[in-house]
């Protein structure tokens, strides 16, 4: 007898209808009408599989890309229907005969490395462009053992904070270690011990700042959300109001931002910049890079194409690096930093499973005050009730 569950899907048909209603403008699409609850038949449990009861998930921006087709129409490329969800916290409820890392009742987090290359880095992302992958915005799921990590229940975070991190923490961890490594190729520690580090916010951006601050660097977080800037001030991270510069809409806005960064850094500029996902900040991030600076970015821009003056960046010895996601061992390492380094800012409402479409609309509209969390399970296991 097949196991049926309830899960959210994105279809090319719903997307097309909403795109037409929005006049072809992806930013005007009502994503709450594209992401909808559906029936899902889970595959049979294989020898290396683990079956999960999903407890909580976080909303991820790549689902907004899927629901608006602002880069590519990934739902259409996946055959017209996809089941999204790249990040989850769940309870193990069954294991295959060859599974050795987990037993029933374990609390785990997921990672979304869909197809590792020979070095462990993903060529595709689970529940996005990985063929046949089924995501975790669902009541239950079946995944292979290698895609799971035991949740560090004693790390000091509550359940919702832990649910915010499975995708974001490895991304930030990978961005930081690459950016720092590239900078150190050019400028050794004894020449420049303490760096100026800037990130534009979102959730990954704030975790990137937490890593830099934990290592003693001068750290700056540029975001439009006062709540997020205030939260990071408690970690000694200086906030910069992105709205003060009109989100870098014009060249004059970029110049004003550059002038402010020079003031904040005594004219030195930023040694490391994390420009995270948003097209308009790419130019601003390059403008404030200091000599030998590193500009690092993850995943999609709002466009698949970016342009810049290569001559200026060459003269400044600036390195521009686009990354994607961590290796499975890197995901394990990032999980070890829950609570000690990573202390995420959570949106003030924990959404119900039924309210997941509204959660994504509010993410699309950029009205949330922190990382949005959706509670999936009505009843939580005894092992985590004290963490709520």
Q: Note whether residue 50 is domain-resident.
A: yes
Q: Note whether residue 329 is domain-resident.
A: no
Answer whether residue 349 shows pLDDT above 70: yes
pLDDT score for 63 = 87
CATH number at residue 174: 3.40.50.720
Q: Note whether residue 339 is domain-resident.
A: no
Do 256 and 121 share a structural domain?
no
Q: What is the pLDDT of residues 14-39, one digit of tens each?
A: 999 999 999 989 889 999 999 999 99
CATH number at residue 12: 3.90.180.10
Q: Note whether residue 331 is domain-resident.
A: no
* Nearest Cα residue to 215 out of 182, 189, 186: 189
Do 100 and 42 share a structural domain?
yes
Question: Rounded CA gap, 225 and 213, in Å?
Answer: 20
Question: Rounded CA gap, 135 and 116, in Å?
Answer: 17
Query: How big is the chain, counted in residues?
Result: 388
Helices (H), 265-319: 280-287, 310-315
Do 227 and 152 share a structural domain?
no
Do 140 and 18 share a structural domain?
yes
Q: Note whether residue 332 is domain-resident.
A: no
Choose the most confident range, by mean pLDDT, from 93-97, 279-283, 307-311: 93-97
The radius of gyration of the chain's CA atoms, rounded to the nearest angstrom, is: 21
Cα angle value 359/167/132 (rounded, 5°): 85
DSSP 197-260: EEEE-SHHHHHHHHHHHHTT-EEEEEES-HHHHHHHHTTTPEEEEGGGGGGG-SHHHHHHHHHH
CB contact at 8 A, 294 and 62: no
The predicted model gives 98-112 an average pLDDT of 97
pLDDT score for 276 = 60
Question: Rounded CA gap, 316 and 268, in Å?
Answer: 12
* Nearest Cα residue to 86 out of 33, 131, 134: 134
Q: What is the pLDDT of residues 145-181, one digit of tens each?
A: 999 999 999 999 999 999 999 999 999 999 999 999 9
Do 352 and 259 share a structural domain?
no
Do 219 and 73 share a structural domain?
no
- Three-state DSSP class for 283? helix
Do 273 and 364 share a structural domain?
no
Residue with tokens 């048909």: 13
Q: Greater confidence, 210 or 299?
A: 210
CB contact at 8 A, 63 and 112: no
Averaged pLDDT of the chain: 93
Please report, for residues 37, 41, 179, 317, the alpha-carbon distance to residue 44 in angstroms, rounded to integers and kept in the order given.
22, 9, 42, 53
Do 151 and 177 share a structural domain?
no
Q: What is the pLDDT of residues 115-146, one digit of tens each?
A: 899 999 998 999 998 999 999 999 999 999 99
Do 52 and 91 share a structural domain?
yes
| Domain termination site, one of 269, 289, 323 | 323
Per the structure, the complete domain to which residue 197 belongs is given by 169-323
Domain count, the chain: 2
Half-sphere exposure of residue 181, counting CA atoms within 13 Å on the CB side? Answer: 7
Answer whether residue 225 shows pLDDT above 80: yes
Do 373 and 287 share a structural domain?
no
Do 154 and 174 share a structural domain?
no
Q: Note whether residue 338 is domain-resident.
A: no
Question: Rounded CA gap, 262 and 219, in Å?
Answer: 14
* Nearest Cα residue to 7 out of 380, 317, 358, 356: 356
Do 117 and 213 share a structural domain?
no
- The b/e string for 31-44 (b: 16+ C-beta within 10 A; e otherwise) is bbebbeebebebee
């Amino acid at each position: 007898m097949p196991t049926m569950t309830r899960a959210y899907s994105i279809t090319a048909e719903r997307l097309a209808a909403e795109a037409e209603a929005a006049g072809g403008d992806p930013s005007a699409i009502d994503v709450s009408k594209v992401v909808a609850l559906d029936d899902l038949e889970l595959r049979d449990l294989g020898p290396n599989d683990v079956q999960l009861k999903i407890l909580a998930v976080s909303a991820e921006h790549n689902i907004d890309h899927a629901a608006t087709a602002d880069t590519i129409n990934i739902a259409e490329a996946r055959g017209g229907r996809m089941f999204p969800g790249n990040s989850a916290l769940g309870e193990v409820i069954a294991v295959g005969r060859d599974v050795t890392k987990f037993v029933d009742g374990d609390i785990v987090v997921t990672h979304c490395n869909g197809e590792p290359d020979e070095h462990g880095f993903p060529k595709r992302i689970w529940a996005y462009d990985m063929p046949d992958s089924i995501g975790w915005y669902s009541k239950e799921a079946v995944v292979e053992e290698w895609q799971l990590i035991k949740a560090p229940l004693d790390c000091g975070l509550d359940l919702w904070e832990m649910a915010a991190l499975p995708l974001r923490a490895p991304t930030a961890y990978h961005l930081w270690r690459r950016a720092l490594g590239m900078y150190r190729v050019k400028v050794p520690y004894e020449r420049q011990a303490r760096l100026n580090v800037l990130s534009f916010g979102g959730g990954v951006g704030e975790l990137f700042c937490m890593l830099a601050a934990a290592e003693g660097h001068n750290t700056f977080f540029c975001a439009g959300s006062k709540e997020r800037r205030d939260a990071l001030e408690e970690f000694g991270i200086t906030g910069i109001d992105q709205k003060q510069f009109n989100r870098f809409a014009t060249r004059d806005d970029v110049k004003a931002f550059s002038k402010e960064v020079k003031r904040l850094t005594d004219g030195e500029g930023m040694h490391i910049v994390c420009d995270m996902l948003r097209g308009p900040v790419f130019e601003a991030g390059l403008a404030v890079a200091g000599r030998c600076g590193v500009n690092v970015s993850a995943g999609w821009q709002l466009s698949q194409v970016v342009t810049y003056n290569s001559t200026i960046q060459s003269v400044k010895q600036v390195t521009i690096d686009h990354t994607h996601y961590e290796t499975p061992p890197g995901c394990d390492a990032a999980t070890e930093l829950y609570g000690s380094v990573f202390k995420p800012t959570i949106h003030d409402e924990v959404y119900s499973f039924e309210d997941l479409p509204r959660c994504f609309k509010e993410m699309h509209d950029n009205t949330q005050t922190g990382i949005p969390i959706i509670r999936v399970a009505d009843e939580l296991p005894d092992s985590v009730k004290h963490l709520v």
